[in-house]
Structure 1
Amino acid sequence: LHLAAAEGQKDIALLLMEHAMAKNRVNLSVQNDNGATPMYVAAQNGHHGMVEIFAHKMDTITTRQRSGWAPLHIAAANGHLKVVEKLIKANAYINFQTRQGATALYLASQNGHIKVVESLLNAAAEVDMTTKDGWSPLIAACQRGRITVAKILIQHGGDVNHQNRAGEAALYHAAL
C-alpha cells in the first residue's frame, strides 16, 4: 500500500484495500520503517487523489512519522497545494506541531510556498505559532529570503517584533 501511495496508483491501492477489507485486516495507519503511513507517503509525493482515498480515516491524517511530522506538514513543506487543500477539507488540524514545534504554516513559509501559505492562513492557521526555539513563520521566511511570504504573513498579523530564543527578530534575518 505504501508503494501504491508513493507512485499515485489509485487503482492498485483500492484493490489492496478492498482485499484487506474482505479479510477484516485493513489498517491504513500501518507505518513503514520510517514511521510513515500510506497517507503520509501520498502527501509527501503530492498525490492528492491518493490523499482523498485515505482521508476518510481520520487517524491517517494525524498519525505522525518518527520525526513528528504529519501528512499536512510534509505536503506544506513540499508545496503540494492540492494535497494541503484535501487535508484541510478532511479537517486536518491546521496548527499541529512537529516535535520541534514547526507547523505546516512554518514549513510552507520557510520553503517559500506562497499558495500553500495563503491556503493555510485562510483556513485559520495561527500566524505567530513558534517552534521550540521561538522561530515564527515570519522569522523563517525572512531568514530564507522569502519576501512575498513575509509580506503575506505581515498582512495577516505576523508580529514583526517577535524574537526567537536567540533574541533575533525577523528584521535581523531579513538584513543578513
Structure 2
Amino acid sequence: GHIEVVKLLIEKGAHTAVATKDGWTPLHLASRNGHIGVVRLLLTTLGVETSRADNHGRTALFLASRCGYNNVVQALLADGRIDPDIKDWYRSTSLFAAVRNGHFEVVELLLAAGGTTIEGQDD
C-alpha cells in the first residue's frame, strides 16, 4: 500500500514540504485522493504544513472537502492546525466546495468545526 511506501520515503529523508509545479504537497495529493492512512502519517510528520495552499490558494482540507472524503476531512480538522474558513483565490472555502459538490457529511463536519463562510464562486 501507499502508506508503507510513504513511511519508507520519510525514513530515508524525503522532504514532505516539496511541492509539484501546481503547489501540491504530499498532504495535498493524499487528501485529494482519499488516502487516509497517508494523511494521518503526514499529520504526525515534523515539518508538514497543514494550512499550506497550492497555486490556486487551495489547502488539503479544501481538496478533501471538494471530493467528499469524510475521513480525511475529519482527520485534518481533528489535527487542529487548519482554519476551515481559509479562502482560495476564487474566495471559495472548504465549506463552499463541499456544499457545491453535495457532500452533506463533510458540510456537517466543517460546520461543527467552526467553518461558517459559505461565499465563493464557480471556477
**TM-score, structure 2 as length reference:** 0.90
Shift of 1:122: 0.7
Whichever structure has more helix as a proportion of its residues is 1
| Structure 2: distance between partners of 1:98 and 1:66 | 9
| Structure 1: distance between partners of 2:72 and 2:10 | 19
Paired residues, what number? 119
> Residue in 1 aligned with 2:51?
95
Q: 1:142 aligns with which of 79, 82, 99?
A: 99
Shift of 1:69: 0.5
| Structure 2: distance between partners of 1:154 and 1:86 | 25
Runs of 4+ in 1 over 3 A off after TM superposition: none
Rg larger in structure: 1
Structure 2: 5+ residue runs without aligned partners?
none
CA RMSD of aligned residues (A): 1.5
Task: Among all aligned residue pairs of Structure 1 and Structure 2, give the percentage whose two residues are the same amino acid.
Answer: 30
Letter matched to residue 75 of structure 1: A
The higher-RCO structure (CA 8 Å, 6+ apart) is 2
Letter matched to residue 98 of structure 1: D
1:150-165 alignment runs, 5 A limit: 150-160=107-117, 162-164=118-120
| Structure 1: distance between partners of 2:8 and 2:43 | 14
Secondary structure of the corresponding residue to residue 99 of structure 2: helix
Are the equivalent residues in 2 in contact too, given 1:80–1:116 (CA < 8 A)? yes
